[in-house]
Each structure stands twice: as structure tokens, then as C-alpha cells.
């Protein structure tokens, strides 16, 4: 099976253009390869951070829901609902865009707000403890959400970079190099044919001169 070539005229001008384009593609490949390596490094860093945060968040949630179970036993669902209506937010959350290696993801900042006692009749002391534990868990979950979204988008960009690197390395650049080699061979063959014809013409001219002299 014949190897695929770029359909261009085999001229010196085309050869120069293809060489410049090949150099540009090789430089682009090197840049993409460095980007892919940096993305891979960031992904591994985020994976470690994600695992640690997830474990901490799961522990915080388990503790919060354990406290909530106690509160539920003491106050009941209706009592918790009425007390929650009078409770103020326990944390402030800000979401801003952040960019790393061309990948944009939300940067989540969450801060605890000092809890104010609800002070309703029939409110159990465990209610404030539950609010405190849930607020701590929410801070961790906000951070976990940021890391998880960043990890997902970095992984997606890393896969795209890998596909582009592979396409350049195994398809596009070899295609240009094969075409360059073909044009070079064609030009060399044409040059050899031209030299052969010039040599042949000289021999004929020399033979005519020799015949005329005789």
C-alpha cells in the first residue's frame, strides 16, 4: 500500500514551504508535549489533594450527621424545621474564575460565620452543635467541589493535549516528512536527467565537431 502524501506540485518553492511548515509543526509538538507534561503533573497533584479532602469531608459529614441524629431524637423533625427557619447562614461563599495552563475552573472561597444561638423555646443544645458540625463540613465540601471540578477539567485538557501530540507525532509530521522526501527525490531525479541530457548533447556536439574536422 502506497504511503499517503500531501497533494502539492514537486517544486523547489513547495519544498521550502513544506520545510518551514514542518519546522513550525515540530515546534508546536514540543510546546504541546511540555503542556501535556505540566498538565499531567497538575493532575497528579490534584488527585492527591482530592483524595485527602474527600476523606476529611466524609469524616466531617459522618460526625455532623451523627450529631444531627441526636438532635432529631431530642427535637423531632418539626422542631428542627422551626428552629432552622430562624437560623442565620453559617458561612460565606465566594466563587471566582481561575485559570491554569489555559484551563478555567471556579475558585471557591468559604469562610465560617460565628454562630448565633437560636434561643427558641424547646431548642436542644445539640441543635447548635449540629449547626457547627454541618458548617465545618460545608466548608470542606466547598473546597472539595473546587478541587473536583478543577481535576475533571485538567484531565479533559490533558487528554486533548495527548491526542494532539499523538496526531502531530504519528500522523501530521510524518506526512510532511514523507512529502518532503518525495519532492527531494523527484527534484534529484529531475536534476540527474537534466545533467544526463546535457552530457548527451555535449557528446553529440563533440562528435559533430570531430566529423567536421575529419
Q: Model's pTM, two decimal places?
A: 0.75
C-alpha closest to that of 153 among 95, 105, 108: 105
Query: What is the pLDDT, as a whole number, of residue 26?
Result: 96
- Grid cell in block for residue 86: 430562624
Query: What is the pLDDT, as a whole number, of residue 87?
Result: 75
- Grid cell in block for residue 26: 515540530
77-104 confidence digits (pLDDT tens): 888 888 777 777 888 889 888 888 888 9
d(CA 194, CA 186): 12
Query: What is the pLDDT, as a whole number, of residue 119?
Result: 56
d(CA 16, CA 207): 41
Query: What is the pLDDT, as a whole number, of residue 116?
Result: 76
- The domains of the chain are located at 12-209
d(CA 92, CA 97): 17
Query: What is the pLDDT, as a whole number, of residue 122?
Result: 58
Query: What is the pLDDT, as a whole number, of residue 201?
Result: 77
pLDDT beneath 50: ranges in the chain:
1
Query: What is the pLDDT, as a whole number, of residue 27?
Result: 96
50-67 confidence digits (pLDDT tens): 999 999 999 999 999 999
Residues 67, 200: contact at Cβ < 8 Å?
no
Topology of domain 12-209 in CATH is Helix Hairpins (1.10.287)
Cα dihedral sign, 197-198-201-207: negative
Query: What is the pLDDT, as a whole number, of residue 214?
Result: 59
Query: What is the pLDDT, as a whole number, of residue 31?
Result: 95
- ∠ CA 39-40-41, nearest 5°, is 90
Q: How many CB atoms lie within 10 A of CB 113?
A: 11
C-alpha closest to that of 140 among 50, 57, 61: 57
d(CA 183, CA 17): 12
User: Could you give phi then psi for residue 116, rounded to 5 degrees?
Assistant: -105, 130
Write out the DSSP string of 70-138.
HHHHHHHHHHHHHHHHTPPPSEEEEEEEEEETTEEEEEEEEEE--------TT--HHHHHHHHHHHHHH
Q: How many DSSP H helices and E strands does the chain contain?
A: 3, 2
* Residue 177 β-bridge partners: none
Amino acid at each position: 500500500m502506497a504511503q499517503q502524501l500531501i497533494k502539492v506540485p514537486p517544486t523547489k518553492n513547495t519544498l521550502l514551504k513544506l520545510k518551514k511548515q514542518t519546522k513550525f509543526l515540530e515546534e508546536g509538538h514540543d510546546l504541546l508535549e511540555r503542556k501535556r507534561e505540566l498538565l499531567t503533573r497538575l493532575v497528579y497533584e490534584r488527585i492527591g489533594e482530592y483524595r485527602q479532602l474527600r476523606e476529611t469531608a466524609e469524616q466531617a459529614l459522618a460526625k455532623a450527621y451523627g450529631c444531627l441524629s441526636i438532635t432529631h431524637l431530642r427535637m423531632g423533625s418539626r422542631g428542627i424545621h422551626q428552629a432552622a427557619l430562624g437560623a442565620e447562614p453559617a458561612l460565606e461563599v465566594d466563587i471566582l474564575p481561575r485559570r491554569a495552563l489555559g484551563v478555567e475552573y471556579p475558585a471557591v472561597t468559604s469562610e465560617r460565620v460565628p454562630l448565633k444561638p437560636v434561643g427558641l423555646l424547646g431548642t436542644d443544645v445539640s441543635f447548635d452543635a449540629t449547626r457547627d458540625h454541618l458548617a465545618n463540613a460545608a466548608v470542606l465540601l466547598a473546597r472539595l467541589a473546587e478541587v473536583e471540578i478543577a481535576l475533571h477539567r485538567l484531565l479533559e485538557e490533558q487528554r486533548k493535549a495527548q491526542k494532539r501530540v499523538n496526531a502531530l507525532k504519528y500522523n501530521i509530521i510524518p506526512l510532511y516528512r514523507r512529502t518532503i522526501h518525495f519532492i527531494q527525490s523527484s527534484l534529484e531525479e529531475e536534476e540527474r536527467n537534466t545533467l544526463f541530457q546535457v552530457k548527451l548533447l555535449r557528446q553529440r556536439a563533440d562528435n559533430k565537431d570531430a566529423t567536421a574536422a575529419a
